[in-house]
Structure 1
Amino acid sequence: MLAGVVGSTAYGFAHADSDLDRLGLFATPTEELHGLHRPAESHVTTDPDVTLHEAAKWCRLALACNPTASELVWLPDDLYDTRTPLGDELIALRTAFLSAPAVRRAYLGYADQQFRKLLTRDTTDPAARRRAAKHARHLVRLVEQAVRLHETGRNAVRLPDPERVREAGERIADRPAAAESLLADAAARLDRPGVLPAAPDPRPVEAWLRRVRAAHYTPPQGPLHAPGAPAQSTGGALGPTG
């Protein structure tokens, strides 16, 4: 229903050797949700790099303000590969997913993960240094996106100054302790009052998901009982009384 280019290309970090990452969401046929076995909620491939989440799973991730999943509804128009009417409806209600506590928890949590990777890297390995620069770039990106969301209610996936973020990442990769003040400053700003509500609004999200289920439901065809078996009685426990 909705898919686009995300990751380094979307942020403005991409270079000639960068992978092209795509993210999207799909709807499982509604009748498949009624069977014994739950269908897969995500499909991930690495060649090409594509992640697709089922609509309900994507909504749960977005209500938790998962940074990776959420950016799908904040992409610049030119980065969308697929936009259906239901996808456009989802973009229109993207602010319903936001809440101040979830943004703080998710974005700073992801940023802290990047920081931990910086602290534990092998400083003698040149490849580890390149990975460290990538972790540091994303740390800077995450804290800046978190503060922007908190203070403006908008998520600028395409960074206004990606080169500055890249340079900051290089500095932090060489001296990871420099990230401590960045994280502390972001935490302090996120502790101040912002524009985001204390909780998301799941009502329009639930209504959208129900429209998705209705649009992707195909009623069963043919008899509802096994061939050759008697039809189920509609009488009471003792059958018809006359």
Structure 2
Amino acid sequence: MTVTNVLLSGVVGSTAYGFAHAGSDVDRLGLFAAPTEELHGLRPPKESHVTTDPDRTLHEAGKWCRLALSGNPTVMELVWLPDALYEVRTPLGDELIGIRTSFLSARRVRDAYLGYATQQFRRLLARGDGSFSADTRKRTAKHARHLKRLCEQGYELHRTGRLTVRVDDPAAYHAFGEQVAADPEAAEPLLSRFETAFAETPSALPEEPDEAAAEAWLRRVRRHFYTPDLSTV
């Protein structure tokens, strides 16, 4: 996959969280800018490019902004990565990192992170009592790790306005995953605890994101990549 105008890209997922082991896939996430002229035609350019070999997702800048403003946990981690995990970092990408807190709001972070964690919990319960194949147990443990991560990271964002992508104690997440793989209902106390914590802890975030900052950045991107197509004049 060849995508031009990549503004920011880095290694995310299990490698970034500290969960990876030998043989783990390496996931990459980034954003690119479509040529501004192409946004005005009958058929707008693709907003996302996804490949599986290698595992890479690139979102167009406008789509990335909309997802980030909704509190989407997956896209949000791109602007909070440790420096060493960035593989492409342009001046406009640095500007985006500089306004990353503008995309945050208490309500949307709470709804998105707890919402994703609740979805993971429902998937775990749908798999039964743990008496399933080794492959299913492996996937269940993985989903349990991410349920715990979503709760911890979402609560950190809610409470402090900052996100630490790499977890403090990966071994604790792996242990939790194995516990839940044996008994999916073991995840319920953790989810309940964080539901209460979100409800009772004052947030460092505003109730609404600063869409004006996001809009201003996106307009700078559009200006930067605007080249008139004189052949149609």
CA distance in 2, matches of 1:9, 1:79: 9
Aligned to 1:61: 67
The structure 1 residue matched to 2:76, chosen from 62, 65, 70, is 70
Shift of 1:75: 0.3
The structure 1 residue matched to 2:171, chosen from 151, 163, 176, is 163
The structure 2 residue matched to 1:28, chosen from 21, 34, 38, is 34
Cα deviation code 1:134-175 (max 9, x no counterpart): 000000100001111111111111111111111112112212
| SS, match of residue 56 in structure 2 | strand
Which segment is superposed worse, 193-202 or 205-214?
Answer: 193-202
Shift of 1:116: 1.2
The structure 1 residue matched to 2:121, chosen from 101, 111, 115, is 115
TM-score with structure 2 length normalisation? 0.94
The structure 2 residue matched to 1:146, chosen from 154, 157, 172, is 154
- Paired residue type of 2:226: Y
Structure (1 or 2) with the larger CA radius of gyration: 1
Which structure 2 segments of 5+ residues have no match?
1-6
Shift of 1:124: 2.3
TM-score with structure 1 length normalisation? 0.90
Kindly report the root-mean-square deviation, in angstroms, between the aligned alpha carbons of the 2 structures: 1.1
Aligned to 2:214: 205
The structure 2 residue matched to 1:136, chosen from 109, 132, 144, is 144
Shift of 1:34: 0.9
Aligned to 2:227: 218
- Paired residue type of 1:206: E
Is 2:189 the partner of 1:181?
yes
CA distance in 1, matches of 2:132, 2:171: 26
CA distance in 2, matches of 1:203, 1:162: 37
Which structure 1 segments of 5+ residues have no match?
225-242
Q: Percent identity?
A: 63
- Paired residue type of 1:95: T
Which segment is superposed worse, 57-66 or 166-175?
Answer: 166-175
Shift of 1:178: 1.6
The structure 1 residue matched to 2:86, chosen from 80, 93, 96, is 80
State the aligned residue count.
Answer: 224
| Bigger share in helix | 2
Aligned to 2:199: 191
| SS, match of residue 113 in structure 1 | helix
Which segment is superposed worse, 199-208 or 114-123?
Answer: 114-123
Show the 5 A alignment for 1:90-129. 90-121=96-127, 123-129=131-137
